[in-house]
A = this chain, B = another copy of it.
Amino acid sequence: MSLEEPVPAQLPEVKRKRGQGVGAVFETLKHEILNLTLEPGSPIDEVKLAERFGISRTPIREAMVKLAGEGLVVTLPNRFTIVAPIDFANLPQFFDALSLMYRVTTRLAAANRTENELAAIRELQHTYTAAVEASDVPAMIEVNRNFHAAIARAGKNRYYTDLFVRLLDEGRRLLRLYYSSYNDKLPRIYLQEHEVMLAAIEAQDIEAADRIAEAHAEQIVRQIQNAMTEDRRLNAGISL
């Protein structure tokens, strides 16, 4: 299941400042988990991580506790810590929550956005366009997440933003898993929808923002479901 980086690069042996260790480990592992560089369900060895980062196990462990708190990792007491498996059984609930958060955050953004925030969102839309032009799928996935996270932040409700970002991150793993089915047409649909969303937020049209957010969510859910179905068809091709 390895993607572009099968073996994580050894970090340079830089003397890190006190208190930087856990944060670095946390961010690095979070990235690798969301990029599927670390396979879901695979075990994580504290000692190897300690060697890799050139620090002792204590800060590694604290990073693991933080990762577990965000559900990125599951701890089996006295045994292993494993990368959180992708929970396909909960997918319908995931889609439901994702859809609601799309709507709520986009509504609030339309109501509460400042000019600065609007500019930041527009900037991300440009970056996304560039990624689409370059057919850079990983970049598209990452920027798409940042685009919606920026919208959520402009809505200024921490509770929604936190949940939404978590859902978007979990969605990143799903998209990565099925990104092979990305064809040229789909990203351009997203691009158009993002444009409409941006316009509704700029015009502070809450109901329009709500409608396009719901449509956008449905679009994405449908795409992932299609990708999964195709994937299953591929599996069905093997002899039984």
Contact B19 A77, beta carbon cutoff 8 Å: yes
Q: List 18 A-B contacts (CB under 8 A).
A: A18-B78, A19-B77, A58-B58, A62-B62, A62-B65, A65-B65, A65-B69, A66-B69, A90-B158, A93-B156, A93-B158, A93-B159, A97-B157, A97-B159, A100-B104, A159-B163, A159-B167, A163-B163
The chain B residue sitting closest to A160, CB to CB, is: B97
Contact A96 B163, beta carbon cutoff 8 Å: no
Residues of A within 8 A of B (CB): 18-19, 58, 61-62, 65-66, 69-70, 77-78, 90, 93-94, 96-97, 100, 104, 156-160, 163, 166-167
- Having A90-B158, A97-B160, one finds 19 other A-B pairs with CB under 8 Å, namely A19-B77, A19-B78, A61-B62, A62-B62, A62-B65, A65-B69, A66-B69, A69-B69, A69-B70, A93-B156, A93-B157, A93-B158, A93-B159, A97-B157, A97-B159, A100-B104, A159-B166, A159-B167, A163-B163
List B contacts of A167 (CB < 8 A).
159
| Main SS class of interface, A | helix
How many angstroms between the C-alpha atoms of A100 and B155 in the bound complex?
15
The chain B residue sitting closest to A162, CB to CB, is: B163
How many angstroms between the C-alpha atoms of A49 and B98 in the bound complex?
40
How many angstroms between the C-alpha atoms of A183 and B19 in the bound complex?
49
Name the residue among A58, A70, A97, A104 with the largest chain B CB count within 10 angstroms: A97
Which listed residue, B18, B69, B94, B104, touches A159 by the CB 8 Å rule? B94
How many angstroms between the C-alpha atoms of A44 and B183 in the bound complex?
54
List B contacts of A70 (CB < 8 A).
69
List B contacts of A104 (CB < 8 A).
100
